[in-house]
Structure 1
Amino acid sequence: MKPNYRRCLSCRRVGLKQEFWRIARVFPSGKVQLDQGMGRSAYMCPTSSCLQAAQKKNRLGRSLHGTVPETLYQTLWQRLNQSNTQEKQI
């Protein structure tokens, strides 16, 4: 089976699907959520530079054709901080 490749919406890096965060705008409700749901989705590198660019330039909102709540960005920042602390402990 061929691997699934995706592109980061911030830095445009191509990589395996598992390397990215998936953010989806669920159909038909239009709710934006992480990791699950059917509908329009966007992929982003789990790095601070990509997250900062996506938030500052509204790349996530434009990619999903909708508004992204501030709570979603807060959740992504928390995830990033948790993954960084786990890497430092190893």
Structure 2
Amino acid sequence: MKKNYRRCISCRRVAPKEEFLRVVRTHPSRTVKLNQGMGRSAYICPCENCLKTAQHKNRLGRALKAQIPEEIYEQLWEKVAQVSTPQPSTSAR
């Protein structure tokens, strides 16, 4: 795998890490956070299908070897909703 590329835990797509949402089990407190801290990380595509599959099959929990709080899934769904809604165009004509 190329440098700074990661793999989605749901669909297994490989892409630059900036294209994914990052979930972290921090060290040493073992708390799970969204895109904060150092520790064991898992990456997931910002699309509904990947998140739905990951939540249904507990792929985040298995990848991080920790229980995933419901608040993390709520935050992930909010991020997916932000990405999927079209952004207003600011181009001047």
- Kindly indicate whether residue 60 of structure 2 is the aligned counterpart of residue 66 of structure 1: no
- TM-score computed with the length of structure 2 as normaliser: 0.88
SS of 1:10's equivalent? coil
1:17-55 deviation digits (Å, cap 9, x = unpaired):
111111000011111001121110000000000000000
SS of 2:24's equivalent? strand
Alignment of 1:1-90 (within 5 A): 3-85=3-85, 87=86, 89-90=88-89
Q: Name the amino acid aligned to 1:25.
A: R
Number of aligned pairs?
88
Q: Do the aligned partners of 2:47 and 2:84 also contact (CA within 8 Å) in 1?
A: no
For the aligned residue pairs, the C-alpha RMSD in angstroms reads 1.3
Question: Quick one: percent identity of the two aligned structures?
Answer: 55
**Rg larger in structure:** 2
CA distance in 1, matches of 2:88, 2:80: 15
